[in-house]
Structure 1
Amino acid sequence: MANLLYVTALSIVAAYVAARSGFPYAALIGFLLPVGYVIYLVFIYPFYFSPFRNLPEPKGAKFPWAHAAEILEGRNGPAYRKWMTTVPNEGIIRLRVLFNQERLFLTSPEAMKEVLVQKTYEFAKPSQPSFLFRQLLGNGILVAEGGEHKEQRKALLPAFSFRHIKELYPLFWNKARESTEEIAKASKASGEPQKAYEWASRTTLDIIGQSGLGYDFNATSNPDGKIVQNYRLIFDNEPPNFKWTIVGIWAPLELIWYLRIPPLKYGKMIADSIRSFLTKRVQEKRVMLEKDAASQIDIMSIAMKSGQFTDAQVVDQMMTFLAAGHETTASALTWAIYQLCNYPDIQTRLREEVLSSLPSIRDPNSTITATQIESLPYLNAVCNEILRFIPSVPTTVRDALVDTTIQGQFIPKGTRLFLSPWAMNTSPTLWGPDAQDFNPDRWMALGMSNSGGSKNNFAFLTFLHGPRSCIGKDFAKAEFLVLLAAWVARFRVRWPEGQALGMDIHGWVTVRPEHKMPVVFEEVQC
């Protein structure tokens, strides 16, 4: 799309020059040049000259949206899951999006390994979403590339070490207990179903606030706080750029941004408000570190103590972790509630394990350890199966920075790749014939607690792999385990009478239910 604009501009210049020179057909040339190029680009190149023309692709694509129509219809995951199993391929499927622009959908562990591990820095996240993330969140680890990403990751890794995370389990438990108290109060006061996603989002925001900043937002007890409201507005109104970039619409985003066209203007105002709070928090943290650096163990403190970041760069990192660090786990917890409502027998079995092994969630003085949580095999199995079956980030995208190859296939610079955890995580080739069934017991068999019986490490793509894998993977899993244990121990969750809900997927970067999962939280004896 961008090339078309350049050629159009060039043709206008050429026509102008021809007209000034007195050439009689200048206007016709100015018209035919871009029209001819469009015809070539849209109807000739993809089918006769593209290096991808012989790759398999799904059937039924109709002009102009081609395969993008199905992506748009089902959000950013279900279509890939279907194509993985219905299109015979050897690791790469060609997709066509708006006006037959080509995309490659990777489907094999070998292809994933090349992109994510062996050639990590030959591929980058698309420039337009990255530009928008930089404007809203700053140049944090989410969007940093190349050597800059390596340095940032190295400096932040101590905050996500197992030794550090295990110290946070009591904090997770305490916030989980607080959330169960507030959910119980709200259920009794209203007599109505409660929206699981909203409670999950507020709870995980509190957790990342304390573990990330050493600051309590009190989001669980106060949904009207400014930070809580800001994040609700951001995630309820995801910028449309993410959606349209996926399906092939190019736009001069930099120009649009600087013109402050809504809704980007509104998003910037919210982001600036959060950034102002974090800037003040960094200044306060500097004073705390000078007094007692050893006692400051939150992510912000560790980043500051590394000496690798300026105060402004620390703010960038915390903007990233506050946004990504609570939304993904909130989505996972919500989908867990969804599946437990659908499978009450699984819910009962899970509750029995939790109640027999952990202290009462009603006891305000109770606490837990990492060892206690990790010793619950069915809890770990259920959480792993949720993360496998409904990963919060359904698809990730990469652009080739240089001419390269994947599985011997030539990949020109600029080629866009789709890597879909939704698809890889449910591939029958990798997981067996029941791959697209929700089955926690796959993680319970002897020797299967870490693999679920999958045949390859790249079968589980929820947190990606390699140098750009999720730095907060172990943090997120620990938080998820504790929250689900607490909620199941305190409540029996079920659909309102006669109102079993579908997934109703919302969002493009992370997926959660549009209806926010209204369910009945029925207290149980514990």
Structure 2
Amino acid sequence: MDFPWSSAVLRSIAGSFILVRLTPIYTFGASYIGTFFVLLLLQIFAVVLWQAVLWPRLFSPLRHLPTPKGGSFFNGHFTTITKEPSGHPHRRWFAEVPNKGLIYYKTLLNQERLLPTSPEALRETLMTKCYEFEKPAMTRLGLQKVLGVGVLLAEGEEHKRQRHALNPAFDYRHIIDLHPTFWDISHRLVDALMTITTNRENTSEKSLSNAPVVEIGGWASRATLDIIGDAGMGQDFNAIEDPNTPLNATYRKVFQIPSSQQQLLGLLSFFLPTWFVRSLPLTHNANVAEASTSIKKVCHELIHRKQEKLNLLKREEEGQDKAGGKTVRDKDILSVALSSGEFTEDDLVNQMMTFLAAGHETTASSLVWAFYLLCKHREMQTRLREEVRANLPSISDASTKLTATALDHCYFLKAFCNEVLRIYPVVPITLREAAHDTTILDQFVPKGTKIIFSPMAINTSTSMWGPDADKFDPDRWMAPGQSKTGGANSAYAYMTFLQGYRACIGMKFAMTEFACLVAAVVGRFEFEFEDPEYPSKIKIKGGITSKPKDGLHMRMRPLEGW
């Protein structure tokens, strides 16, 4: 609820003073404090009445747009949204609600939401009018403690500046240099999984049904944290070998399943100022504050060490220029960003916080969905394994480096990864807010209107992908001329990384590490669900990313060769 707390408090203070002094008969027991709270409650009631009843039902310019059936008088579709996994109601509404590019629905206290559904609406909001739709202040304040005010949360000119300065670090020519790093850490993950799947009495067991059970989600998170540490910052966090490193423990705490406290704080944020909710003396707030301090400390230390190393290299280069030699510079993202001279130390801390959190947890969640689908479609394991073993260097030989050319020849691997990310986008919905009065598809949109982008719905829209849109089918990316589109009729049909100027800057980085990790594991192991009935029982957890609530437990059996 957009309540003007500051002005309401000032009006209540002034009103209580005037009424008690001049007309005490109309006050609450001639008490300044009592009168203050009565006046404040009256203002809250008036705002709730206006925003929850009068505005959406009688005055809103959006009220005539197509809307889903059902919903309550005061809370719209809030119950539906909270009961179902994130993005799932939106996917259903795409199919059920006839519309011309926009769907209108309401949530708690009838707060209005606009859901763009057509390529034209998406192009306008993500490209032509990109900076007219910002992340809401409540969202930015909630995330910046863990993500920093980096390129993900920056807005307007500041976002343009940061993105321009970071682009060289994420150029594909630079990502090519990181392929060996991705493969080295994939090799370490396989080694660790080999240890826990062969260190049993049944090492000679050939039956997968008796193979050891592994919860793959934790391993995926540790592997991607090591990748972002090494490829992003030139620092080995050693999370694969030691799950209890301070940084890994910090992120486990931050990205855990939302607690009742988190859900309560989220609800309070609708009614109270964000700064006030964040300052409440609750365990979750303390955990976030502690995590923020810990992560910032790690980032400052990494930047200082990297700066010292770059200064040393610069001195060596100056000496070698005279001798005709050449110095090899580090290829990690932090080194490239530091060398650009475009960032202050605080800027770099914010970027590193963003890459650490968003860069490892998102890919880890995608890996869980990849293994879930490989357990569900066992025949694809064989197909992927044959391609990977035919084209990529042996995972048993740590001295052989992976090249971009070899990975590019794994066409089914690429198709499989694209399809996983299409069906299970790791961030099912994302939120924007109209920064001022504007329009979408000639529909007037008042300032403050919340815009919901739902990759979960768009990626499986039959109007963009055809009648089999919700079917998991990697071969849609294998047809002639469809390797980049999957056969969709618009570039805006694939929204896992968003599109336009706010598209994920780390997309190529994420896609490459994702493919390497999938290839390494499927090339060396055969696996299946611990519980064959798991797909019918799965519960999806909410939070920053989407993944199975109780983790993914698989039976894993090492295979011979490779």
- TM bracket, shorter-chain basis: over 0.9
C-alpha displacement at 1:255, in angstroms? 2.4
Residue 54 (structure 1) aligned to one of 40, 50, 64: 64
Cross-structure match for 2:340: 306
C-alpha displacement at 1:523, in angstroms? 1.3
Q: 2:154 is aligned with what amino acid?
A: A
C-alpha displacement at 1:243, in angstroms? 9.1
| Distance change in 2, residues 1:500/1:133 (3 Å) | closer
Cross-structure match for 2:277: 256
Task: Report SS of the residue matched to 2:113.
Answer: strand
| Distance change in 2, residues 1:320/1:348 (3 Å) | same
Cross-structure match for 1:235: 255
Structure 2: runs of 5+ lacking an equivalent: 29-34, 201-210, 315-327
Cross-structure match for 2:415: 381
Structure 1: runs of 5+ lacking an equivalent: none
Task: Report SS of the residue matched to 1:3.
Answer: coil
Q: Any idea what the Cα deviations from partners look like across 1:192-247, whole Å, max 9, x if unmatched?
A: 31111111111111111001110111111111211111111111155876997699
C-alpha displacement at 1:318, in angstroms? 0.5
| Distance change in 2, residues 1:32/1:364 (3 Å) | closer
Residue 148 (structure 1) aligned to one of 141, 149, 158: 158
CA distance in 2, matches of 1:205, 1:243: 29
CA distance in 2, matches of 1:386, 1:339: 8
C-alpha displacement at 1:414, in angstroms? 0.6
Cross-structure match for 2:2: 2
Task: Report SS of the residue matched to 1:236.
Answer: coil
| Distance change in 2, residues 1:365/1:87 (3 Å) | same
Task: Report SS of the residue matched to 2:379.
Answer: helix
Residue 355 (structure 1) aligned to one of 356, 380, 389: 389
C-alpha displacement at 1:20, in angstroms? 3.8
TM-score normalized by structure 1?
0.94
CA distance in 1, matches of 2:166, 2:364: 23
Residue 203 (structure 1) aligned to one of 199, 210, 223: 223
Residue 297 (structure 1) aligned to one of 307, 319, 331: 331
CA distance in 1, matches of 2:228, 2:173: 18
Cross-structure match for 1:283: 304
Say whether residues 1:327 and 2:361 are aligned partners: yes
Cross-structure match for 1:443: 477
CA distance in 2, matches of 1:32, 1:317: 44
Say whether residues 1:433 and 2:434 are aligned partners: no
Task: Report SS of the residue matched to 2:76.
Answer: coil
Q: 1:97 is aligned with what amino acid?
A: T
C-alpha displacement at 1:3, in angstroms? 2.7
C-alpha displacement at 1:34, in angstroms? 5.0
Task: Report SS of the residue matched to 2:439.
Answer: strand
Conserved 8 A contact 2:185-2:223: yes
Cross-structure match for 1:21: 22
Cross-structure match for 2:204: none
C-alpha displacement at 1:132, in angstroms? 2.5
Conserved 8 A contact 1:205-1:219: yes
CA distance in 1, matches of 2:67, 2:504: 30
Cross-structure match for 2:518: 484
Cross-structure match for 2:87: 77
C-alpha displacement at 1:337, in angstroms? 0.2
State, as a whole percentage, how many aligned pairs show the same letter: 40
Aligned counterparts, 1:451-490, within 5 A:
451-490=485-524
Conserved 8 A contact 1:111-1:406: yes
Conserved 8 A contact 1:196-1:518: yes
Conserved 8 A contact 2:255-2:544: no
Conserved 8 A contact 1:98-1:247: no
Q: Any idea what the Cα deviations from partners look like across 1:408-456, whole Å, max 9, x if unmatched?
A: 1101111111001000000000000000111111111111111000000
Cross-structure match for 1:114: 124
| Distance change in 2, residues 1:23/1:258 (3 Å) | closer
Cross-structure match for 1:269: 290
Cross-structure match for 1:220: 240
CA distance in 1, matches of 2:124, 2:93: 21
Q: Any idea what the Cα deviations from partners look like across 1:325-371, whole Å, max 9, x if unmatched?
A: 11111111110000010011122211121122222212222322111
Conserved 8 A contact 1:129-1:242: no
Task: Report SS of the residue matched to 1:269.
Answer: helix
Cross-structure match for 1:168: 178
Say whether residues 1:131 and 2:141 are aligned partners: yes
C-alpha displacement at 1:64, in angstroms? 4.1
Task: Report SS of the residue matched to 1:167.
Answer: helix
CA distance in 1, matches of 2:73, 2:212: 47
C-alpha displacement at 1:2, in angstroms? 3.1
Conserved 8 A contact 2:197-2:558: no
Cross-structure match for 1:518: 553
Conserved 8 A contact 1:97-1:248: no
Conserved 8 A contact 2:265-2:277: no
Give the superposed CA RMSD: 2.3
Task: Report SS of the residue matched to 2:488.
Answer: coil
Say whether residues 1:413 and 2:447 are aligned partners: yes
